[in-house]
Amino acid sequence: MKVIVIGGGAAGFFTAINIAEKHPDYQVTILEKTSKLLQKVKVSGGGRCNVTNERNKPSELVQYYPRGSKKLHQLFRQFTTSDMVDWLAKREVQTKAEVDKRMFPVSDSSQTIIDCFIDQARRYKVEVIQNQSLMTLNHNNGKWELTTPSQKFKADKVVVATGSSPLTWKVLEQTGLEITPGVPSLFTFNIKDDRLKDLQGISFEETQIKIVGSKLSESGPLLITHWGLSGPAVLKLSAWGAYELADKNYKFQVLINFTNLKPDEIRSNLINYKTANPKRKIVNYPLFDLPKRFWERMVNYCDITNETPFGELSKKHINKLVEELGQGKYTVNGKSTFKEEFVTAGGIKLSEVNLETFECRRFPNLYIAGEALDIDALTGGFNFQACWSAGWVISECI
Ligand SMILES: Cc1cc2nc3c(=O)[nH]c(=O)nc-3n(C[C@H](O)[C@H](O)[C@H](O)COP(=O)(O)OP(=O)(O)OC[C@H]3O[C@@H](n4cnc5c(N)ncnc54)[C@H](O)[C@@H]3O)c2cc1C
């Protein structure tokens, strides 16, 4: 039995290792387009590799996948995040969870994961052939025939784990698979605005952001960067709104609530503070747990001088502060890559595979794993987990 896994990335390696371990009589080969292996694992999580997440209930996990969502329930029932933690532990890679439940190797180095995979591939005699880019994939007389620019290969079973490569999606489309066009997900917002100028590094624990003229809205921490806004609230919006924001060509307006309070509550808090502390200079007493430099910027932006005490806060000033803090309007003009993690939404349509086996419905003995499929997640180790789970399921079913 000859199995060819196309793609030497996270999904390809994990699938190949598990097939080879479970089926010592199978000949398992990885074909990789480039001269490098596990390239994205290397740079993942800022070089630390956010390998999975501490959340492990399938019903909870599926909520982190804008593309895939509930359809992945069965997948995580078969191999969930804690199974990956055990899989690594059995191979002497210890992991740790951070307070936000993201999990990393204890070494804080993605090289640990790479070393583990390379070692396991060697141990189970997985053949790895680099610089082999799949050009055609055809089924003939019960065998899969693959060509690369320099070689021809034949296999009984093929696993496609080529990630989000549009060129390779074209090759797969010629095989007859239906593809959802890709758009970026997990990006940050470019905003040029005097209210944010020189405030990079300031963060807010709980904010709400809404896209004007859309139903898209998210809450969570927010970070001012030197090009605009980032942080979990923005990344979540970019993932859930990947297609809608691409349609807007990444030009839209957002309303930001920096306080986690309703406008009426912001107003009553300001009025109560004014009554209780009429002599205190406004600029010196940030309310709503806002960072001091941001509070100063907002106070000045609302035409309140540095000398004005709370007692002299006019109704007009209060209205303006309520607006700026509760629904400040900002214009987004473009996106930037979030270097810690980014993915592409889109890929081979989920309807093409049986989600219990990850085998193609229309092409027996052809399996798909990882980002090549139309599955993508929020940040937190969920993107890798989709690779591990599908790879495991394929190794069980193949
Ligand atoms: C900077 C960055 C940081 C990230 N950090 C994290 C993180 O910490 N946690 C997390 O969960 N996710 C993270 N991700 C997302 C994660 O890396 C991907 O979801 C994951 O790598 C997808 O794995 P894959 O094997 O499907 O694709 P890939 O890792 O992209 O591997 C696909 C492989 O197939 C090869 N290939 C493509 N076409 C062909 C062809 N025609 N023939 C042969 N080979 C081919 C490619 O060269 C590549 O080696 C990050 C992504 C980026 C970009």
Q: Whose CA is nearest to atom 24 of ligand 1?
A: 163
pLDDT of residue 383 exceeding 90: yes
Q: Per residue in 218-268, pLDDT tens?
A: 999 999 999 999 999 999 999 999 999 999 999 999 999 999 899 999 999
- Rg of the chain's alpha carbons, rounded to an integer? 25
Q: Whose CA is nearest to atom 29 of ligand 1?
A: 9
Helix H or strand E encompassing 209: strand 203-211
Tell me the average pLDDT across 135-163: 96
Alpha-carbon distance of 185 to 342, in angstroms, equals 6
Alpha-carbon distance of 383 to 390, in angstroms, equals 11
From the CB of 15, is ligand 1 less than 6 Å away?
A: no
Alpha helix positions (H), 289-381: 292-301, 315-327
Tell me the average pLDDT across 20-39: 98
Beta-strand pair 343-348/179-185: antiparallel
Q: Per residue in 73-126, pLDDT tens?
A: 999 999 999 999 999 999 999 999 999 999 999 999 999 999 999 999 999 999
Q: Per residue in 345-371, pLDDT tens?
A: 999 999 999 999 999 999 999 999 999
Alpha-carbon distance of 291 to 307, in angstroms, equals 19
From the CB of 158, is ligand 1 less than 6 Å away?
A: no
Q: C-alpha distances in angstroms, 362 versus 133, 160, 213? A: 24, 15, 40
| Residue 295, C-beta contacts closer than 8 angstroms, at least 6 positions apart | 283, 286, 287
- 185 phi and psi, to 5 degrees? -135, 165
| Residue 6, C-beta contacts closer than 8 angstroms, at least 6 positions apart | 12, 30, 31, 134, 137, 146, 158, 159, 160, 161, 162
Q: Which of 209, 223, 218, 229 is nearest to 329 (CA)?
A: 209
From the CB of 387, is ligand 1 less than 6 Å away?
A: yes
Q: What percent of the chain has pLDDT over 90?
A: 98
Could you give all domains of the chain from N- to C-terminal order, each with its CATH number? 2-184+341-397 (3.50.50.60), 187-337 (no CATH)
